[in-house]
Amino acid sequence: DAGVTQSPTHLIKTRGQQVTLRCSPKSGHDTVSWYQQALGQGPQFIFQYYEEEERQRGNFPDRFSGHQFPNYSSELNVNALLLGDSALYLCASSLRQGSEKLFFGSGTQLSVL
């Protein structure tokens, strides 16, 4: 049973560029959430997708956008990258919307130079 998978594992970008991160949820899960984890900090909620729509959003600017596909996989897009966007981006899936138990992937380490 595959867990949550994310790609790529590492990424280096320069300021102003755009990036797309990908996530496949755990088998049987239909809800995907994205988190940003800065060094030494806890994960910060970006947004959650269910039934291909953004259902909830944390305190992140519109430069952060996402998408969920019919097979429940998801993408996180960040435009106009800033140095401060450097972080570990985590995808978490859950069995259904409203389920508190999250299953995390190993994350994508984004470095913005």
Long-range contacts of 3-6 (CB under 8 A, 24+ apart): 3/103, 3/105, 4/91, 4/92, 4/93, 4/103, 4/104, 4/105, 5/105, 6/89, 6/90, 6/91, 6/105, 6/106, 6/107, 6/108
Work out how close the CB of 96 gets to another protein at its nearest, in angstroms, rounded to a whole number: 10
Q: Taking CB under 8 A as the rule, which mask of x and - marks residues 38-77 in contact with another protein?
A: --xxxxxx--x-------x-x-------------------
Q: Which stretch binds another protein (CB under 8 A): 13-21, 62-70, 78-86, 97-105?
A: 97-105
99 in contact with another protein (CB under 8 A): yes
Binding positions for another protein, rule: CB under 8 A? 4, 33, 40-45, 48, 56, 58, 90, 92, 97-107
